[in-house]
Amino acid sequence: MLKFLKGVVGGSGAGLKDLPYNIGDPYPSAWGSWSHFRGTSKDDGSPVSIFSLSGSNPQDGHLAAGRNGVKRLRTVRHPNILSFLHSTEVESFDGSSSKVTIYIVTEPVMPLSEKIKELGLEGTQRDEYYAWGLHQIAKAVSFLNNDCKLLWMVQVHGNVCLSSVVVTQTLDWKLYAFDVLSEYDGANATATGPMLQYEWLVGSQYKPTELAKCDWATIRKSPPWAIDSWGLGCLIYEIFSGMKLGKTEELRNTASIPKSLLPDYQRLLSSMPSRRLNTSKLIENSEYFQNKLVDTIHFMEILSLKDSVEKDTFFRKLPNLAEQLPRPIVLKKLLPLLASALEFGSAAAPALTALLKMGSWLSAEEFSLKVLPTIVKLFASNDRAVRVALLQHIDQFGESLSAQVVDEQVYPHVATGFADTSAFLRELTLKSMLIVAPKLSQRTLSGSLLKYLSKLQVDEEPAIRTNTTILLGNIASYLNEGTRKRVLINAFTVRALRDTFSPARGAGVMALCATSSYYDMTEIATRILPNIVVLIIDPDSDVRSKAFQAVDQFLQIVKQYNEKGNAEDTSGAGSLGISSMPGNASLLGWAMSSLTLKGKASDQAPVATANSVTPATTTASTASSGLIETPSTAPVHRVSSSTDFADQPMPPSPTSTDGWGEIENGIHEEHDSDKDGWDDIEPLDEPKPSSALANIQAAQKRPVSQPVSQPKPQASTSLRPKSTVKAAKDEDDDLWGSIAAAPPKSASRPLNVKTAGAVDDDDPWAAIAAPPPTTKVKPLSAGRGRGNRAAAPKLGAQRINRTSSTGM
């Protein structure tokens, strides 16, 4: 017998010492003489149920039966039998009298009668739920009557009724009240006494004829399920009639029994014990249990035994099926099953759609508790289908994720999609950043996300390049000021505006307009307007239209700045901007899917020149840009166009994927395009010769000790001074610094002044080298330029060199 404890305070046991649970409010009903209380654990506060049974005499028969129930409940384990957690027996003293109380702690449950009133189900949904509950109780009874013989002797519950059934938090029905439970000894021919020692606890209305007469000989000759099958028939009557059974004769009233269940109901209540229906047969053959709810829950419970085809078919139908099932059952039973299946990998990716649909019926707090933890764990899945499903539905749960969870647990897994070999997954990952980026820290934004976006802006898929520009425009407000200064203009002008894909160029224009408030007047005048103006003669009409609107917007900003030029505080005016312009709403929308562009070369390279321009690494462009160029090994796509704007060359599509800071193809051509646009224009004023003559005179006065061994100057060396190399070394090695656009040349400044000013300290002749030609020279027909060497000019450095030698 359990050890007696002392020390009970007044009341119904609340405040019991040494019991690791807190006793709460009681339920209005319980089986027999037991009381049923709500309770919580003292360790973690988790909910429990506490049953108590009291008696004034330790030898009281109710207490003896209660101890039998505790022993049976502790040893019998089954999914449809109440789960035992803890028990204790306490003896308290009140003056000369004593009181003994037995406590049983179980999983949190509620009496079935109370739960039915709380749910308030009607019609078909009520019948489906009752079918599921009866199916569970029938399995529990079948386990006792048929399967226990494999472990112990066959058991007889003895009092199956409405009061002996409780409901869990997931709305499962469970059998308890094991006080009367005994072994079936029908095989013992010599037994003569009562088989059920505590049968006197069973109400007379629940006793079959043989038990009411205490005909133990007939009972022992009957099947082991005879008594419990009768009790199951009593339970069916009580739940469908909505009232407790008052007397045995009421069982004849079958008006409330469903027609599909009526034949089995009548067999359960047969007057002949040997003809009563075995509960195992009831489960297998009854038409009543074949409904959508029972089939759905049964499929989920044996999900691990199903093959992939069955799982996929089931989960694709589940979202629509869930709408037809009782809503409380879906949220409290199916949803936890589905979340568990996804978390442990037994559910297919389409199950996520059903999970989110069910989750949408929850409150915000319940969604965060029941659904979000599973979703966060799914982001660590290696299943590509699961990752795709998460990214496709991130808009449904992204707002519910906290910033800390996104930054620490979600983003590290999502970011792997940026480098995925699947273009579809890269595109989904990119689009998901519209929801993820606002919750990222500045460290993650600048140190990780922007690096991935720099590579995606030169992705092989044109739609991904376009969407990257759109994303940058949308998340610009979340970047700090220093990052915006370093990133936005470079990304939009150097990359987007020079993309061969026309929607990408249009996106670049719109992104600049949407982020106009982040640029100062110097950036607008020297870096933005010069790059946008070129697009007003773009081959694509949509790009031209957006370019005209952008020019008007930025000119308006400049005009506003000029009008306030006389104000004392002009520093704030530099940030004047118009946040949006007509038609700018399209910036928030994504470009078309990259999958629709597969195999459409005409769409991927819609812009080209009539005279297809091949990128050439000229010394003049190198000198003007201050960057050291390396030959590009990527192939250049050349597509002829018959448009009126074909004379305006567009650079080839960038194909380098090594980051914004190291673009080899499609970015350096920026300087060539600038030169192509202005070098064929004659300077307005002749350059002042005084500066050049001063350099010549200084070179002539410098003694030359070895005229014979002096190397012969070349025009190319004069056009590539070492100062450009030093500038490249001093270039900011930041991720975006290396692609900063060079300030545009002024039309009023002669083009040859810059060349003349670039003096090589080691070459005195470089200062008087001939300027580059002012007219554009078309490249050779081969266009490759790899094995062709330009002929040495006949003027400039060679002529001066011969004169110097003669002077010697």
- The CA distance from 272 to 274, in Å, is 6
Mean pLDDT, to the nearest integer, of 105-118?
Answer: 95
Reported confidence tier of residue 286, pLDDT bands at 50, 70, 90: confident
Helix, strand, coil tally for the chain in percent (to 5): 55, 10, 40
Asked if pLDDT for residue 652 goes beyond 60, the answer is no
Which pLDDT does position 492 carry in this prediction? 94
Give the model confidence (pLDDT) of 487-543 as tens digits: 999 999 999 999 999 999 999 999 999 999 999 999 999 999 999 999 999 999 999
Asked if 675 and 621 touch (Cβ cutoff 8 Å), the reply is yes
Mean pLDDT, to the nearest integer, of 741-764?
Answer: 40
Give the containing element (helix H, strand E) for 281: helix 279-285
Which pLDDT does position 508 carry in this prediction? 95
Name the β-bridge partners of 760.
763
- The CA distance from 28 to 39, in Å, is 15
Asked if pLDDT for residue 364 goes beyond 70, the answer is yes
Taking Cα atoms as reference points, which of 560, 557, 549 lies closest to residue 585? 549
Asked if pLDDT for residue 457 goes beyond 80, the answer is yes
Taking Cα atoms as reference points, which of 595, 630, 564, 573 lies closest to residue 786? 630
Give the model confidence (pLDDT) of 770-789 as tens digits: 454 444 444 444 444 444 44
Reported confidence tier of residue 18, pLDDT bands at 50, 70, 90: confident
Q: Is 272 helix (H, G, I), strand (E, B) or coil?
A: coil
514 CB burial (10 A radius; 0-12, 13-18, 19+): buried
Asked if pLDDT for residue 631 goes beyond 80, the answer is no
- The CA distance from 541 to 243, in Å, is 78
Mean of the per-residue pLDDT values of the chain: 75
Which pLDDT does position 762 carry in this prediction? 44
User: Which tokens go with 574?
Assistant: 């530099």
| Region of poorest pLDDT, from 181-195, 253-267, 355-369 | 181-195
What is the b/e burial string over 179-198, where b = at least 16 CB atoms within 10 angstroms of the residue's CB?
bbbbbbbbeeeeeeeebbbb
Q: How many CB atoms lie within 10 A of CB 808?
A: 11
Phi, psi of 168 (to 5 degrees): -85, 180
Asked if 341 and 306 touch (Cβ cutoff 8 Å), the reply is no
User: Which tokens go with 776?
Assistant: 């554009």
Give the containing element (helix H, strand E) for 98: strand 97-106
Asked if 632 and 664 touch (Cβ cutoff 8 Å), the reply is yes
Taking Cα atoms as reference points, which of 34, 47, 50 lies closest to residue 87? 50
Asked if pLDDT for residue 399 goes beyond 70, the answer is yes
Asked if 469 and 435 touch (Cβ cutoff 8 Å), the reply is no
| Region of poorest pLDDT, from 464-468, 691-695, 727-731 | 727-731
Asked if pLDDT for residue 177 goes beyond 90, the answer is yes
Asked if 652 and 669 touch (Cβ cutoff 8 Å), the reply is yes
User: Which tokens go with 316?
Assistant: 């694709």
- The CA distance from 109 to 73, in Å, is 15
Asked if pLDDT for residue 620 goes beyond 90, the answer is no
Residue 11's region, left for phi above 0, alpha for psi from -120 to 50, else beta, is: left
Cα dist. 711→707, 716, 757, 764, 789 in Å? Answer: 9, 13, 22, 12, 19
End-to-end CA, the chain: 125
> Half-sphere exposure (CA, 13 Å, Cβ side) for 522?
5
515 CB-near residues (< 8 Å, 6+ apart):
473, 476, 484, 488, 492
Using only the alpha carbons of the chain, give its radius of gyration.
43
CA angle 569, 573, 575 (to 5 degrees): 135
Which pLDDT does position 345 carry in this prediction? 86
**Stated length of the chain:** 808
DSSP string, 356-387: HHHHTTS-HHHHHHHTHHHHHHHTT---HHHH
Asked if pLDDT for residue 365 goes beyond 80, the answer is yes
275 CB-near residues (< 8 Å, 6+ apart):
267
Reported confidence tier of residue 284, pLDDT bands at 50, 70, 90: confident
Which pLDDT does position 592 carry in this prediction? 54
State if pTM tops 0.75.
no
Largest CA distance in the chain: 144
Which pLDDT does position 512 carry in this prediction? 95
Reported confidence tier of residue 451, pLDDT bands at 50, 70, 90: very high
Mean pLDDT, to the nearest integer, of 323-337?
Answer: 93
- The amino acid that residue 230 corresponds to is W
| Region of poorest pLDDT, from 179-193, 243-257, 644-658 | 644-658
Taking Cα atoms as reference points, which of 659, 700, 613, 264 lies closest to residue 494? 659
Which pLDDT does position 640 carry in this prediction? 33
Report the relative pairing of strands 182-183 and 173-175 from DSSP bridges.
Answer: unpaired
Report the relative pairing of strands 4-5 and 84-94 from DSSP bridges.
Answer: parallel
Most confidently modeled range among 565-579, 698-712, 750-764 = 565-579
Asked if pLDDT for residue 416 goes beyond 80, the answer is yes
Asked if 136 and 174 touch (Cβ cutoff 8 Å), the reply is yes
Asked if 349 and 375 touch (Cβ cutoff 8 Å), the reply is no
Asked if pLDDT for residue 617 goes beyond 60, the answer is no
Reported confidence tier of residue 585, pLDDT bands at 50, 70, 90: very low
Handedness of CA 391, 393, 395, 401 (dihedral sign): negative
Name the β-bridge partners of 5.
90
Q: Give the strands of the sheet with 109-111, arranged side by side.
A: 109-111, 165-168, 173-175
DSSP string, 506-521: HHHHHHHHHTGGG--H
| Region of poorest pLDDT, from 100-109, 198-207, 689-698 | 689-698
